[in-house]
Every structure is written in C-alpha cells, then in structure tokens.
Amino acid sequence: MIVSIGTEVYVTLAKGPLTTSESSGLPLPGHLIIINIAHTPTTTESETAEFSDYSSRLTKFFSEKGCDTVMWEIRHSEGIHAHRQVVAVPKGKDLEDDFVKGFAERNMSLEKREPGESEEYCCVTLPSGSYIATLPQRFDLQLPRRILAKVLGLEERAEWRSCIQAPEKEAADGMTFRNAFEKAEVLPSE
C-alpha cells in the first residue's frame, strides 16, 4: 500500500511487515519501504537525494513518536529495483554489536565507511551511523531483517512471506500511516 509519492520515489508499507502497530507499541505501522518509481537496480543522483530526503523525514517522524529507525538497502547492479527498508525501533536500543556480529556470522565485515563508487553492497543505517558490507557472490537478501527480528524478539516475523497481512488490514494500516505522516508533514513539531 503506497503511503506517500514523491517526484521520483514513493513510500509503501512493507508487505509482510517485520513490525506492526501491535508489536511496536505505535498507533501505526512501523515498517516501510522507499522505492524508486523507475524500478531500476541503482538510483540516479536525484533519486538518491529523494531517498535521503524521505529517510530524514521518516526518521524525524518516528523520533517524534519516541522511536529510532533502522534502515537497510542493497545495491546490486542485477537487483530487481533499488529500495530502502525503514523500520521504527524502540529508542536507545544498542544495535551495532548485533548487526556486526550477524554479518560476521556470514563471513562478512560490516564497517562504518562510505561505499566504493562501483561497489555492490549492503548498507545498514543504525542510530549510531551507517555501515557497509561488500556483497559476496551469494547474499541473503533478508539478512538485515533476520538480524533485526532477532534483536526485537520477533523471530517469527523474520520471513516476510509468513506475515503478509489481509488486504483489509494492510489498507487500514496504510490509511492510518498516511494520515499521521501527512499531518506531521503539515504541522510544525513542538
């Protein structure tokens, strides 16, 4: 369900969300995906800027609701389309060690650095900063979600296909989020 449309990207609720209003304690869904409208595997400079703008706006939105955000994206030239997942998490949760360990268990190094220009990578953005892991030949596209599910005690929701919501619930959640996000975008924060 699309909840916001920009010039070159849009924001949608995650199908099979990791967190729900029930699990997050928020009165609205807390798992979204930012996607480029062109559905290309990499983003243009202007799409990248709009991804960053939406990321900042969603981080601010969730912060005002008492949450931090965790984001991840995978840059792969043969991917289906560029996207960034955004999940609201309880404020103050120390996540860095869990993510570094989770990647290390897959023989990958998650480092606080900028990606190389043509590097294919997974970027995880935590409250403590952004971390990059170079993609190996084979990569579990759900690794960041699996790690976060474990940290949040939501292992039963680690696989998105196992928690797809009924269309009516997804539509209701989408409307709830869209209304709250639009209201927050219009009203100045106090």
Rounded Cα distance between 55 and 93, Å, is 19
Do you know the residue count of the chain? 190
- Residue 12 binned pLDDT confidence (cut-offs 50, 70, 90): very high
Hey, what domains does the chain have and what are their CATH numbers? Answer: 2-141 (3.30.428)
Least reliable range by pLDDT among 50-54, 59-63, 180-184: 180-184
**How do residues 113-167 score in pLDDT, each as one tens digit?**
999 888 999 999 999 999 999 998 888 889 999 999 999 999 998 888 888 888 9
pLDDT at 186: 56
pLDDT at 188: 47
The model carries a pTM of: 0.91
